[in-house]
Amino acid sequence: MTNAMELYQMLPKTNCKKCGKTSCMAFAVSLMAHELTPEDCPPLKDEPKYKENYEKISELFKPSESATETGLIVHEDLCFGCGNCVVACPPNVANDPHGIGSGKAPTNPNKLVLAVEDGIVKAQNLGECRRFGKNKILCNGCIVTCPVEAIEFV
């Protein structure tokens, strides 16, 4: 991922305010925060001289289109269903202490954040994820235990 200054360098830098922000730098910061999309900048989107930069910026934010509300993306093409992330997920352990929490098969699958289905990890019950809600924290238990980097947060 890039940073706001790199995004700013690709913007028209006209400070036209058509996006609702006071400057192109404020627009870049809002892009980074996923409050706005590249389509919210009319000059970038509509003027041919900015077409190349529009495509670059749109490509940068493309992976986040498949992200869940927590920012979780499971790359199913990389996942081979080892289940390390399922066992390492703190909410999974807390919600199923006698199943997943003890290294056994799930006994309470309806409360799990991550579960292996058909050989691939699937995200479910995202309201239970530590990265969701008012008191969210930047937990990365599922990411660090994945041997093939099939899980990421955006």
* Cα 88 from Cα 144, distance rounded (Å): 9
Determine the pLDDT at residue 69. 66
Domain 4-61 is classified in which CATH homologous superfamily? Electron transport complex subunit B, putative Fe-S cluster (1.10.15.40)
Q: CATH code for 72-153?
A: 3.30.70.20
User: What is the structure's pLDDT at 2?
Assistant: 74
pLDDT in tens, 76-98: 899 999 999 999 999 999 999 99
Q: Which residues of the chain have pLDDT under 70?
A: 1, 63-69
Evaluate if pTM is beyond 0.75: no
Supply the pLDDT for residue 147.
95
The confidence score (pLDDT) of residue 29 equals 92
Q: What DSSP assignment string belongs to 17-50? A: -TTSSSSHHHHHHHHHTTSS-GGG-HHHHH-GGG
